[in-house]
């Protein structure tokens, strides 16, 4: 127990991959810590139009201008170095407004262990929130290293990952597969690694009656997530091409929610396939837009190919589709099966025809969509919800800090709201007849 066991500790969370609160996992973590009495600050890159400092829902957020898009190994080294230095400077800024007791770093990249060690003489504890397997990401993007240069890069990633594991006082991993890596490659005891799945808060993330439902005779497909080289969005476009141009389903539309390094290439691919009238790219979306788009969609797409990274990673999109009662089709990945269970339709990785077959089957069978949508919502709300994960997450900080405040990490709602903050009506999930009708039509009565 630390000397500050009776005071509310100050937690500093470092994120480089996404701005906050856009990073939904990190934002849920922030809210859980605040609810249990911790003070929370965040350092992250700016999103478009973001100020350098924000105070949102009790969280102090310090932001820096992101580095230019990395190209090649030198570009990535520059991006990591630039972000590290900007983050290190902001830790000094944060400390001027009050000493922080715990630093949490979220990867990628695996570089902030050094910053944590620099703060350790001042009594700062380090928690590593393990979001990605960077060595597996390298292999998934570039293949097994063969050249000297590739081997050096891969060895460097393994070294950085091990330093992150070894420097941490405790590790939180997104699933059991990631925990096994931390134990095996990080040489940590199982009790030093806690699984905190990225489940959605299903009391907040639930279907609304969409303001702009899709046409009655149409079918709307949805993709939600990052659009990078490893995310398989190009595969989703090939599936849509198969359905629209080769099988003649001209009533099919697709909404692609998100952004990433490949967004402009994907737009070009869509145009080359003649899909511009069928595919909409929204770019960056917030929680309000996600609720609208996923509430009006019929089928969710999980096009992540089976790679060393994807097979072991928990795909948030799968659980978010489930939260909105969306049946989904996915390439067959080990951890996606853990999340989706029997509510997702699985097809062999890379088999575009089989993926299109599964989507086509759902398109033509409204009752199957209803059945899977109801099972998906039940599974995500009873087995994958954020609430028990929040308890496990905050317990790690309680153990490290010696601080403890009674009460749940996510308060139960005193009543079930009928409308959201934007005044949009929620679907009554307790009225099974109405819920079934909504899943069939994806619109208000």
Looking at residue 2, its pLDDT comes to 41
| pTM attached to this predicted model | 0.89
User: Do residues 176 and 257 both lie within one domain?
Assistant: no
Contact 410, 386 (CB under 8 A): yes
What is the pLDDT, as a whole number, of residue 420?
86
Residue 434 lies in a domain: no
pLDDT at 141: 85
Q: Are residues 253 and 166 in the same domain?
A: no
pLDDT in the model for residue 415: 61
102 preceded by a cis bond (ω within 30 of 0): no
The residue out of 381, 411, 433 marking a domain boundary is 381
Check residue 70 and give its pLDDT: 67
> Quick one: pLDDT at residue 4?
41
Same domain, yes or no: 22 and 53:
yes
User: Is residue 134 in some structural domain?
Assistant: yes
Residues 332 and 320 sit within 8 Å (Cβ to Cβ):
no
pLDDT of residue 261: 87
Domain identity same for 344 and 397: no
Which residue positions in the chain have pLDDT lower than 50? 1-5
Tokens of 214: 């899709």
185 within some domain: yes
Tally of structural domains, the chain: 2
CATH of the domain at 345: 3.40.50.2000
Do 157 and 238 have their domain in common?
no
Residues 20 and 163 in one domain: yes
C-alpha separations of 125 from 94, 168, 289 in Å: 16, 8, 37
Residue 295 lies in a domain: yes
Quote the domain boundaries for residue 331: 219-381
Would 426 be classed as within a structural domain? no
Pairing of strands 299-302, 328-331: parallel
Task: Kindly state whether residue 237 falls inside one of the protein's structural domains.
Answer: yes
Same domain, 155 and 229: no
Whether residue 194 is found in the same domain as residue 311: no
DSSP H helical ranges for 168-309: 176-186, 233-241, 263-272, 287-296
Give a yes or no: residue 439 inside a domain. Answer: no
363 in the same domain as 392: no
Nearest-10 crossing angle of helices 432-441, 366-383: 120
Query: Do 325 and 391 share a structural domain?
Result: no
Does 337 lie in the same domain as 193? Answer: no
Are residues 180 and 256 located together in one domain of the fold?
no
69 within domain boundaries:
yes
């Amino acid at each position: 127990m630390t000397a500050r066991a009776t005071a509310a500790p100050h937690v500093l969370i470092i994120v480089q991959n996404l701005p906050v609160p856009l990073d939904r996992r990190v934002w849920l973590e922030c809210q859980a810590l605040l609810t249990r009495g911790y003070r929370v600050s965040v350092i992250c890159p700016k999103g478009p139009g973001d100020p350098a400092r924000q105070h949102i829902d009790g969280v102090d957020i310090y932001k820096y201008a992101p580095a230019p898009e990395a190209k090649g190994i030198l570009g990535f080294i520059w991006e990591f170095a630039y972000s590290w230095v900007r983050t290190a400077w902001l830790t000094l800024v944060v400390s001027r407004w009050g000493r922080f007791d715990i630093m949490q770093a979220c990867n990628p990249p695996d570089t902030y262990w050094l910053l944590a060690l620099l703060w350790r003489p001042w009594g700062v504890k380090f928690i590593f929130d393990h979001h990605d397997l960077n060595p597996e990401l390298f292999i998934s993007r570039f293949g097994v290293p063969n050249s000297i240069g590739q081997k050096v890069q891969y060895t460097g990633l393994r070294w950085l990952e091990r330093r992150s594991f070894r420097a941490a006082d405790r590790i939180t991993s997104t699933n059991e597969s990631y925990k096994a890596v931390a134990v095996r490659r990080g040489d940590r005891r199982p009790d030093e690694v806690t699984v905190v799945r990225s489940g959605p808060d299903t009391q907040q993330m639930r279907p609304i009656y969409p303001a702009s439902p899709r046409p009655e005779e149409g079918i709307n497909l949805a993709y939600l997530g990052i659009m990078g080289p490893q995310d398989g969005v190009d595969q989703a476009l090939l599936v849509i091409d198969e359905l629209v141009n080769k099988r003649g389903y001209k009533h099919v539309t697709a909404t692609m929610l998100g952004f990433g390094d490949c967004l402009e290439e994907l737009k070009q691919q869509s145009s080359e396939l003649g899909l511009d009238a069928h595919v909409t790219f929204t770019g960056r979306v917030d929680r309000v837009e996600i609720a609208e788009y996923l509430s009006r969609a019929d089928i969710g797409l999980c096009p992540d190919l089976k790679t060393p990274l994807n097979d072991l990673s928990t795909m948030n999109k799968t659980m978010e589709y489930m939260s909105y009662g969306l049946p989904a089709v996915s390439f067959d990945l080990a951890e996606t099966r853990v999340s989706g269970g029997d509510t997702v339709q699985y097809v062999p990785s890379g088999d575009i025809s089989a993926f299109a077959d599964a989507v086509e089957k759902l398109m033509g069978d409204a009752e199957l969509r209803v059945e899977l949508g109801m099972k998906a919502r039940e599974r995500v709300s009873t087995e994958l919800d954020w609430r028990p994960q929040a308890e496990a997450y905050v317990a790690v900080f309680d153990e490290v800090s010696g601080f403890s405040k009674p009460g749940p990490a996510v308060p139960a709602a005193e009543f079930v709201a009928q409308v959201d903050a934007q005044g949009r009506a929620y679907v009554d999930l307790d009225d099974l007849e109405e819920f079934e009708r909504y899943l069939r039509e994806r619109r208000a009565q």
